[in-house]
Amino acid sequence: MNIGIWILGNQLSHENTALIASLSEQKNSKILFIESLNHVQERRYHQQKLMFIWSAMRHFAEELKADNWQVDYKIDLDFFPVLNKWILENNLQELRLMSPVDRPFLSMINTWKLPCKIVFYPNNNFLWQPEEFKQWASNRKRLILEDFYRESRKKWQILLTENQQPVGGKWNLDKENRQPPKKNLSPPQPLFFPPDNITLEVKNYLSTLDIDTYGNNDNFHWAVTRKDALKVLNHFLDRGLENFGKYQDAMITNQEFMWHSLISPYLNIGLLNPLEVIKAVEKTYLEKNYPLNSVEGYIRQILGWREYMYGIYHYVKEDYFQSNYFNHQQPLPEFFWDSKKTKMNCLKQVLKQTENTGYAHHIQRLMIISNYGLIAGISPQALENWFHSAYIDAYDWVMQTNVLGMGQFADGGVLASKPYASSANYINKMSDYCSNCQYNYKEKIGENACPFNYLYWDFLRRHEDKLKSQGRMSLVLKHLEKISPEEWEKIDKKLDYKVALLDRT
C-alpha cells in the first residue's frame, strides 16, 4: 500500500503518531509539508510567528530526509488542491495525519472529498486526549482546575509521596507565588539563537510577499529545531526555575522575560513534549532541592493549566467562540496595532515588547492587555483575533480558552470563577510601569486619572447585576456604594470612550 503522511506546521515531532504508525512501512511512505499562503492571510500574523513556523517546518523536513524518509515540501496558495494533486500523483491509497488540535482546521479537512482514505492518529502534543477529559468532566457539577490538576498529578505520578500525597504536604503553593518586583532585580539572560541560513531564507522570502503582517522581525532569536528547544529548556532549569515561583506575576520595564521559561512556542508545535518537560523539572527539583513553590508552580502551569485549557476547548460546544456574556461591543483600539499610539505606559510597554518579540508573559497578557479589554468593554472576538495575530505561541485551542474564557469572562464562568478585572492598584503593585506614566495610578477622577481606574469602576457599575451572581465579587461590589453621585458624575465625564480607548499621543 502507498501511504501519504501529511505533517502540519504544529506537529513537528519525531514522535508524531502518524509517523510512528508508518515506521514499518517507511519505504512505501511519502511525507508532505504544505506552506499555505492563503491560510496565513486569514489574519495579520506576527512576522516572527511566520518565520518561526516556516523555518521550523523546513528544518524538520530536512531532519526527516536525513532519516531516509521521502519528503515533499510544497509552497502554494491552498491546502486542498495541493494535497489532492499529491495523492493522485503518488497513487496513494491512504493518507495519515495526526489529529489537528484546532477544531476549525479539523472541520475544514472533514469537508474535503479526497481521492483516498484518510486516517487520523491521536495528537500527542498533550497528555490528556479530548475523550479522556470529557470522561473526567462528565457528571461534575462544576469544572475546577484544582480538581483536574490533582487528578493529573496522580495520573502521571508527579510530585507525589509513596502514600500518593503531595510532596511537601500541599497540592498548590500559589499563595507563595505572587511577590511584587523588588528594586534591582536581575532576571537571567534568555538563551537566544542567531537566525541560521534556513531562517534567513524564510526571512527573505517573507519580505517578498505582499501580505499584511504585525510586529517586526528585526530581532528574531527563537529556536527552530528540537535540539535548540531542548537547550532553552535546560537553560531554564539551570537559571530560571529556582526563582520562577516567587516572581511569576511580576513585571519590570525592559525585562520582557523575567524568570519565565519561554517554551510555549516549542510545546505548541511539538518540538518539546509536555511530559518530558514535567519530568525534567521534577528531576531538577530532586537534584538541586529548588524551592517547592517554584517547582510545583511551574508543573501546575503545564500539567494543570495547559492540559485543562486544551481539555475545556474540546469539551465546550462548537459555538463557544461566539461567547459574549457581557455583550461587549467596543471595537479594538488602533493602538493595539501600534504601541506608539497610547500614553498608558503599562499597555505601551507590553505592546511594544509584543511587536518586537511576539512574546509577553502570563500576567502581562492577563492583567494588562486582557484586563484593559474587559473593563473597556472591547468585543471579546476582536480581542481574541488580535491575540491570535500577536503571539508566537497562539492557536485556536489556546486562544478561545485563555482570551474568551479566562481573560474576558465571555463564557459567563465556565472557565474562571470570577472576572480578572482590576484597577491600577494591582498594576502598580506588581510592576514598575506606573512610576513612568503620565497618568496617576492613585487618581480615579482627576485630571490625570488613570483610565484603568474609571474604566474599572464603570465596568463594575455596568455589570453589577451579572456580577452579583458571582459569589466571589460581592466584596468588591460593596465598594460601589462608597462612590458618591458627584464622583459618578465625574467618572461619567471621563468615560468618553473615544478618549479612553483611542488615547492617542
Tell me the C-alpha distance between 402 and 331, whole Å: 20
Binding mask 97-116 for ligand SF4 (x = CB under 6 A): --------------------
Assess 441 for contact with ligand SF4 (CB under 6 A).
yes
Q: Residue 468 in 3-state DSSP?
A: helix
Choosing from 87, 173, 437, 491, the residue that interacts with ligand SF4 (CB under 6 A) is: 437
Q: How far is the CB of 409 from ligand FAD (least distance, A)?
A: 12
- Smallest CA-to-CA distance from 290 within 257, 259, 244 is with 244
H/E stretch holding 3:
strand 3-6
Q: How far is the CB of 372 from ligand SF4 (least distance, A)?
A: 9
Sequence-ordered alpha helix ranges (H) in 90-159 = 103-111, 130-137, 145-156
Q: Which does 439 bind (CB under 5 to 8 A by kind): ligand SF4, ligand FAD, none?
A: ligand SF4
- Smallest CA-to-CA distance from 250 within 364, 338, 389 is with 364
Tell me the C-alpha distance between 100 and 120, whole Å: 9
Tell me the C-alpha distance between 76 and 113, whole Å: 19
| Size (the chain), residues | 505
Choosing from 424, 460, 473, 491, the residue that interacts with ligand SF4 (CB under 6 A) is: 424
Q: Which does 237 bind (CB under 5 to 8 A by kind): ligand SF4, ligand FAD, none?
A: none
Assess 387 for contact with ligand FAD (CB under 6 A).
yes
**DSSP letter at 438?**
S
Assess 214 for contact with ligand FAD (CB under 6 A).
no
Q: Which is nearer to ligand FAD, 266 or 433 (CB)?
A: 266
Q: Which is nearer to ligand FAD, 313 or 457 (CB)?
A: 313
Contacts of 382 (CB under 8 A, 6+ apart): 331, 332
Assess 152 for contact with ligand FAD (CB under 6 A).
no
Q: Which does 424 bind (CB under 5 to 8 A by kind): ligand FAD, ligand SF4, none?
A: ligand SF4
Assess 267 for contact with ligand FAD (CB under 6 A).
yes
Q: Which does 416 bind (CB under 5 to 8 A by kind): ligand SF4, ligand FAD, none?
A: none
Q: Which does 437 bind (CB under 5 to 8 A by kind): ligand SF4, ligand FAD, none?
A: ligand SF4
Tell me the C-alpha distance between 348 and 343, whole Å: 7
Q: Which does 251 bind (CB under 5 to 8 A by kind): ligand SF4, ligand FAD, none?
A: none
Which regions of 37-134 does DSSP assign to beta strands (E)? 45-46, 70-76, 94-98, 117-121
Assess 500 for contact with ligand SF4 (CB under 6 A).
no
Assess 267 for contact with ligand SF4 (CB under 6 A).
no
Q: How far is the CB of 405 from ligand FAD (least distance, A)?
A: 9
Cβ 251 vs Cβ 430: under 8 Å: yes
CA distances from 287 to 232, 283, 333, 418 (A): 19, 6, 49, 38
Q: Which is nearer to ligand FAD, 83 or 366 (CB)?
A: 366
| Grid cell listed for 264 | 510555549
| Grid cell listed for 453 | 481606574
- Smallest CA-to-CA distance from 459 within 390, 387, 370, 388 is with 370
Residue numbers at the binding site for ligand SF4 (CB under 6 A): 344-346, 424, 427-428, 433-434, 437, 439, 441, 450, 452
What is the binding site for ligand FAD (CB under 6 A)?
260-264, 267-268, 301-302, 305-306, 309, 361-362, 365-366, 370, 387, 391, 393-394, 398-399, 402-403, 406-407
